[in-house]
Amino acid sequence: MSATAEISDNIATKTTPKVAGLPLIGNTLDMAKDPAKFFVDCYRKHGPVFKINILGKPYKVMGGVEAATFMGTREGKECLRSKEFWQGLVKEFDAHLALPGADGDDHKEMREILRHGYSKDAIKGRYNQLLKITDGSIERDWKPGTKVPVLQAFQFMVTDQLGTILTGSAPLEYVEDIRVTILNILNVLVTRQRPRFLLLNPAYRKAKQRVFELGDKMRAEYLANPDARSEENRNLIDDIMQANLNGSHIMPDHNLRLQLVAPYVAGLDTVANTTAAITYTVLKNPDVLARIHAEVDALFADGDIDEAGLMKKIPVLQAAIMETMRLYPIAVAQMRCANKDFVFEGHQFHEGEMIYIATCVPHFMEELYPDPYTFDVDRYEKPRAEHRQTGAYSPYGRGPHTCLGKSLAEVQLALTMARLFYRLDLSLESPDYQLKTKTAPTPGPAMSYKLKVNGYRN
C-alpha cells in the first residue's frame, strides 16, 4: 500500500476482491449496522479497492488514505462524477440540478452563485444573534428537570439557526416535514439503502408536499419585497433569486423549490447529528467537560462575545468537536460514478460503475491515530497534530464537492456547543450509558438518545 494514490490510465495489475455476503442482499446488513466498521474491516482484509453488493446492486469501494488523496487530484476530478447519485432527489423535486449532483462547469457555476450565502460571511457580525437563537431553543426545549430527546431538540435548534441566518426566517412548523422528506430521499434515492416502495407512503408524500409549500412560500415572500435586505445583509435567498431573475440557466423557475429548501437538506441532519454526538463524547469524559466549562465560562464572562479570534479562545471545545467528527463522521463515504475507464491502485474501474469513496477509513487507523477508538482531545495540538497527516481527516468530504457550508458549520458548531455547555448542567441517563447509534439516513446518535437537564449553570 502506498501513502499516495497510484493512478494510471494503463493496465490493471490486480483482481478486485469481492467481499463475502448473504445471497440476494449481499452486504446490506453490514452496511446498515455500522458502515464505518464495515469499510475499515474490508480495507484491512482486502486493501484499498474491493467490491460489495447492496440490495442486489454491485458497487466498488475505494478507501483509505489512497482514496482520500485521490479525491483532491486532477485525475480524481476527471475520473469521478456525482450526477447519478443525486438524480433521484432532483427528479423528486421536479428540478433539473442539485449542487451535490452537478459536475464540471455546471457545478462550478452553481457553487459560485451559492458560495457567499453558505459561507462564514453569512454569519459575520451575527454571532451574538446566533447565540440568542440558541438561548431561545434551550429555554423552549431543554427544560430543567426533564429528559431531553437530544437529536430532536437539536433538529429544532438547527432549523431555527439556519432558517434565521441563511434565509431570514425560521420555519419551525415545517421541521417534521423536512425531517421525513430528507430521511426518505436520502435512504431510498441517494444512499439506496432502503426499497423504493417507501416513497409511496402517504406520510412521506404529505411531508414532501409541505416542503414544496415551504419553497413556494420563500419564493413568494422574496418576490413580494425583493429589496427587503440591504446589499450588506444579502443572504442565500437573495443570491438564488437574483440568479433566477437574471436568467441563469442554473436557476430556472423549476429549480427554485429545491434550491430554496436546500440549506435544510444540507445542514439540518449533518449539524444535528454532530452536535448530539458531541454531547455524548464530552459528557462521557468529565475531565474534558471541566476543561470546556473553564473555557466557556471565560468566553461569556462579559456578556456579548467578540467575534475576532473566537476559535482561539476555546481550543479544548474545538478539539472535542474535531475528535467527535473523527469518531462519528456523518458521511463515512462519498458516493460517485466512474466518469470514464481508469485504473486506481492497480484496479480497473469502468465508466458508469457506482463507487463508494470511503474517505473516513483513515479516521480509525492506528497508524495515523494511536489508540483510534479512544476519545483524545489532545491529538490536534502540535507537535502531535495527527489530523494533519496526508489523507487522515475528512469529516467535510474531499474534492470538488467538499462541504460548501464548512466555514459556517464550524462557527455554528462552536457557538452552539459553547452556549449549551455554558448554560446547562447536563448528564447522561447513567454514567455507564453507551450511545446507541443509527446509520440511516445520516449516521449518528439514535433518536432514543436522551440527556438529563439537571438545571441551569448560567
Residue for cell digits 425560521? Answer: 170
Is 403 annotated as contributing to ligand binding? Answer: yes
- Minimum gap (Å) between residue 139 Cβ and ligand HEM: 23
Which range in 182-190, 286-294, 309-317, 391-399 contacts ligand HEM by CB under 6 A? Answer: 391-399
Distance of CA 8 to the CA centre of its chain: 31
Nearer to ligand HEM, 344 or 396 (CB): 396
Residue for cell digits 441517563? Answer: 429
Question: Cα–Cα distance between 149 and 441 in angstroms, integer?
Answer: 18
Tell me if 456 sits within 8 A of 145, measured CB to CB.
Answer: no
Q: Is 282 in the site for ligand HEM (CB under 6 A)?
A: no
Question: Cα–Cα distance between 155 and 147 in angstroms, integer?
Answer: 16
Nearer to ligand HEM, 344 or 356 (CB): 356
Q: Is 258 in the site for ligand HEM (CB under 6 A)?
A: no
* Interface residue with ligand HEM, options 68, 185, 271, 292 (CB under 6 A): 271
* Interface residue with ligand HEM, options 93, 328, 396, 449 (CB under 6 A): 396
Per CB under 6 A, contacts with ligand HEM among 159-188 are 162
Q: Is 259 in the site for ligand HEM (CB under 6 A)?
A: no
Tell me if 380 sits within 8 A of 356, measured CB to CB.
Answer: no
x-or-dash string of contact with ligand HEM, 92-131, rule CB under 6 A: -------xx----------x------x-------------
- Minimum gap (Å) between residue 200 Cβ and ligand HEM: 27
Q: Is 266 in the site for ligand HEM (CB under 6 A)?
A: yes
If phi over 0 gives left and psi between -120 and 50 gives alpha, with beta otherwise, what is residue 343? beta
CA torsion, points 217, 221, 222, 223, in degrees to nearest 10?
100
Residues 6 or more apart in contact with residue 409 via CB below 8 angstroms: 267, 270, 271, 396, 403
Nearer to ligand HEM, 269 or 348 (CB): 269
Q: Is 401 in the site for ligand HEM (CB under 6 A)?
A: yes
Counted residue by residue, the chain has a size of: 458
Tell me if 138 sits within 8 A of 154, measured CB to CB.
Answer: no
Tell me if 153 sits within 8 A of 451, measured CB to CB.
Answer: no
Tell me if 422 sits within 8 A of 415, measured CB to CB.
Answer: no
Nearer to ligand HEM, 68 or 453 (CB): 68
Q: Is 417 in the site for ligand HEM (CB under 6 A)?
A: no
Tell me if 271 sits within 8 A of 166, measured CB to CB.
Answer: no
Task: Count Cβ neighbours within 10 Å for each residue of 227-240 and write b for 16 or more, e otherwise.
Answer: eeeeeeeebbbbbb
Strands 80-81 and 334-338 turn out to be antiparallel
- For 306, which DSSP code? P
Tell me if 345 sits within 8 A of 49, measured CB to CB.
Answer: yes
Nearer to ligand HEM, 106 or 425 (CB): 106
Could you give the 3-state DSSP secondary structure of residue 125? coil
- Minimum gap (Å) between residue 408 Cβ and ligand HEM: 6
Nearer to ligand HEM, 76 or 397 (CB): 397
Size, binding site for ligand HEM by CB under 6 A? 23
Amino acid at 80: L
Which range in 237-245, 259-267, 379-387, 427-435 contacts ligand HEM by CB under 6 A? Answer: 259-267
Q: Is 443 in the site for ligand HEM (CB under 6 A)?
A: no
Q: Which residue is nearest to ligand HEM (CB)?
A: 405
Which range in 23-31, 149-157, 260-268, 418-426 contacts ligand HEM by CB under 6 A? Answer: 260-268
* Interface residue with ligand HEM, options 409, 417, 424, 453 (CB under 6 A): 409
x-or-dash string of contact with ligand HEM, 218-257, rule CB under 6 A: ----------------------------------------
Which range in 27-35, 54-62, 243-251, 401-409 contacts ligand HEM by CB under 6 A? Answer: 401-409
Q: Is 322 in the site for ligand HEM (CB under 6 A)?
A: no
Q: Is 420 in the site for ligand HEM (CB under 6 A)?
A: no
If phi over 0 gives left and psi between -120 and 50 gives alpha, with beta otherwise, what is residue 352? left
- The grid coordinates listed for 162 are 439556519
Q: Is 347 in the site for ligand HEM (CB under 6 A)?
A: no
Q: Is 403 in the site for ligand HEM (CB under 6 A)?
A: yes
How many helical (H) and strand (E) elements, i.e. helices and strands, does the chain have?
A: 16, 13
* Interface residue with ligand HEM, options 167, 181, 274, 324 (CB under 6 A): 274
Q: Cis (ω within 30 of 0) for the bond into 383? A: yes
Question: Cα–Cα distance between 263 and 118 in angstroms, integer?
Answer: 8
Give the footprint of ligand HEM on this chain (CB under 6 A): 99-100, 111, 118, 162, 263, 266-267, 270-271, 274, 330-331, 334, 395-397, 401, 403-405, 408-409
Binding residues: 403
